[in-house]
Amino acid sequence: MHRHGYKGRKFGRETDQRRALIKGLATSLVIEERIETTLPKAKELTRYIEKLITKAKKGDLANRRRVIAGLSTQVAAIKLVDQIAPQLAGRTSGHVRVARTRIRVGDGAQMAVIEFVDELKDMPKEDKKPAAKPAAKKSVAKKEAN
């Protein structure tokens, strides 16, 4: 039998397991900004994450929801849309790089590092006042009034 027209790698897993694996790798890449995995997994992750980054760069509500669905955690999706995608706006594609690193000792698998091509800077978080502080002041004020 031929493999003409069959896209993607199977990794010896069933569909739902394979989908969960790629989702987990993508989430780790967004959070850590650089991960080491096997070369075939890194190549397959490249195809997946490039599409997610393109959706994140558009940033409208529908694409934001698609990014949330494509990653395991909402924290990672928010980081991708709000912090990483604006820094990658100058590129149309080629947002990540795959570099071979070493051969794993246990099974001889070729390892690779996958990372974002552009140097990502930490965006300053908006300082929001915690809700607990005003409540604490009110309780102190009530004690002083008594």
Q: At what angle are helices 61-70 and 39-58 packed, to 10 degrees?
A: 160
Position 1 in a domain: no
pLDDT of 112 higher than 70: yes
> Cα-flanking dihedrals φ and ψ of residue 110, to 5°?
-75, 125
CA dihedral 76, 82, 83, 85 (to 10 degrees): 90
Express as a percent the part of the chain with pLDDT over 90: 75
**pLDDT of residue 38 exceeding 60:** yes
Residue 38 DSSP SS3: strand
Q: Please provide the average confidence, as pLDDT, over all residues in the chain.
A: 88
The amino acid occupying position 40 is: P
pLDDT at 73: 95
Smallest CA-to-CA distance from 87 within 33, 51, 14, 8 is with 33
- Residue 104, in any domain of the structure: yes
Task: Give 41 or 130, the one with higher predicted confidence.
Answer: 41
Which CATH number goes with the domain that contains 51? 3.90.1030.10
Residue 24: inside a domain, yes or no? yes
Inside any domain, residue 81: yes
pLDDT band at 118 (very low <50, low <70, confident <90, very high): confident
* 3 state DSSP class of 53: helix
Examine residue 93 and state whether it is found in any structural domain, yes or no: yes
Number of separate domains in the chain: 1
Residue numbers of the domain that contains 77: 15-119
Q: Is residue 136 part of a domain?
A: no
What residues pair up with 116 in beta bridges, in sequence order? 96
Question: How does pLDDT run across 39-81, given as a tens digit for each residue?
Answer: 999 999 999 999 999 999 998 999 999 999 999 999 999 999 9
Residue 146 lies in a domain: no
Residue 2 lies in a domain: no
